Amino acid sequence: MYGLIQGGQAWPWLSLNSILIFSLFALLIFFTLRIESHNPEPIMPGWIWKNRVLIGANLTMIAMGATMMAPSMYLPVYAQSVTGVGPIAAGFILASMSITWPLSSGLSGRLYLKIGFRDTALIGVCISIVGALVFLLLPFPGPVWILVVTQLLLGAGFGLISTPMIVGVQSMVSWNKRGVVTGANMFSRYFGQTLGAAIFAAIFNSVLLSSLRTAPQSLQSNLPKANEVIGALQSGSAPAQLQLFLRHTFHSATHSVYLGLLIIALITLIIILLTPSRFTPLEKVD
């Protein structure tokens, strides 16, 4: 996270700092895998990563966890800074996801009993893709109800992805192994959230800084620093022309974040398509 967030801002991507941080990351991953592979009671057993269904389900949860962070991190601030709604209204826009998520999660049981776990998650990721596309087609500044629609669609998609994936892997193993596959599945989701937070922050900051560097000469004297843009927008103290420029800048940066969300959702679609449709029980687990 540190390397992704600071890269391109505090120092160039191809700098000694970036090389050292990512080399250290790779080294620590290598030693972790080496130590765990020789441990009789590893934190995450190796057999979890030897079955295509379990791999597909865990990778799907990593990707879903990453996509969750885009609206969580940027939609409320976008609603306040670009569309001009208050903090309470912005919170309600974000919370609209919590309406469709439990509904689709609850209804997914009937669906995966008919068409299977994999295909139910496939429908969910397609709905998430539609939600990302709706936001990307949002004009400046855009009506608030479209933001609500994107959240409703994303919530419905996440509900159809998360529940079938976790119930599906639980159905593959005996009772004494369900804690292992459940823990791995949940860890994958949280790891995805951590990764998504860093990736989307890097995207947003990169686009924002690029826009500020190319600002018109007439605005350069009053231009705020990157970490002061939100304050300038929400305080309303900036001149009207600068205010409009900053709103457009924030709009572009947030759209780039949702473009990243769309790309990750498309990768998720490929992962699910490559995952076997039948969640066959594991007869023997070492």
pLDDT on residue 175: 87
**The model's pTM:** 0.87
Half-sphere exposure of 212 (CA within 13 A, CB side): 20
Distance between CA atoms of 218 and 241, rounded to whole angstroms? 10
Is the peptide bond between 141 and the residue preceding it cis, with omega within 30 degrees of 0? yes
**pLDDT value for 274:** 94
Q: Residues 108, 158: contact at Cβ < 8 Å?
A: no
Q: Answer whether 121's CB lies under 8 Å from 164's CB.
A: yes
Q: How many CA atoms lie within 13 A of 40 on its CB side?
A: 0
Q: How far apart are CA 1 and CA 22, in angstroms?
A: 10
In tens digits, the chain (286 residues) has pLDDT values of 788 777 777 788 788 988 999 999 999 999 988 888 888 888 888 888 888 999 999 999 999 999 999 999 899 989 988 888 888 998 999 999 999 999 999 999 999 999 999 999 999 999 999 999 999 998 887 788 999 999 999 999 999 999 999 999 999 988 888 999 999 999 999 999 999 998 998 899 888 888 888 878 877 777 777 777 777 777 767 778 888 888 888 899 999 999 999 999 999 999 999 999 888 887 654 4
Q: What single letter denotes the amino acid at residue 25?
A: F
Q: Measuring CA to CA, which residue among 207, 248, 244, 251 is closest to residue 226?
A: 207
Residue 149, burial from CB neighbour count under 10 angstroms (0-12, 13-18, 19+) = middle
For residue 110, the one-letter residue type is R
What is the model's pLDDT at position 14? 84
Contacts of 48 (CB under 8 A, 6+ apart): 54, 55, 58, 180, 181, 184
Measured CA to CA, the distance from residue 206 to residue 253 in angstroms comes to: 8
Contact 60, 275 (CB under 8 A): yes
Residue type, 208: L
Distance CA 251, CA 144 (A): 14
d(C-alpha 9, C-alpha 101), whole Å? 36
The pLDDT value recorded for residue 1 is: 79
Query: Given this model, what pLDDT does residue 283 score?
Result: 66
Q: What is the DSSP letter of 251?
A: H
The 3-state DSSP composition of the chain as helix, strand, coil percent (nearest 5) reads 80, 0, 20
